[in-house]
């Protein structure tokens, strides 16, 4: 079972491990690994290419 390190998931994983100690092996993902998360790749592309030079058409929406 591959698990992230969110506390809610850790509690469930430990409960499962106690129930089936010889049948379940848990592999923990690193605490922060954007290269393992495909959504991070999409946000990275959007941030540095699609929105890098974006200027909103309506400047009234931004008070600065």
C-alpha span between 54 and 63 (Å, rounded): 17
pLDDT (0 to 100) of residue 4: 79
pLDDT in tens, 15-39: 888 888 788 788 888 877 778 778 8
Domain boundaries, the chain: 2-54
Give the residues across from 27 on adjacent strands: 2
Structure tokens at 37: 């998360």
pLDDT (0 to 100) of residue 53: 80
pLDDT (0 to 100) of residue 30: 82
pTM: 0.40
Residue 54 reports pLDDT greater than 70: yes
- Identify the sign of the CA torsion 43, 46, 52, 56: negative
């Amino acid at each position: 079972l591959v698990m992230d390190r969110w506390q809610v998931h850790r509690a469930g994983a430990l409960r499962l491990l106690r129930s089936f100690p010889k049948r379940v092996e848990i592999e923990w993902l690193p605490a922060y690994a954007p290269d393992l998360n495909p959504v991070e790749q999409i946000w990275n592309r959007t941030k540095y290419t699609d929105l890098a030079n974006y200027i909103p058409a309506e400047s009234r929406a931004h008070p600065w």
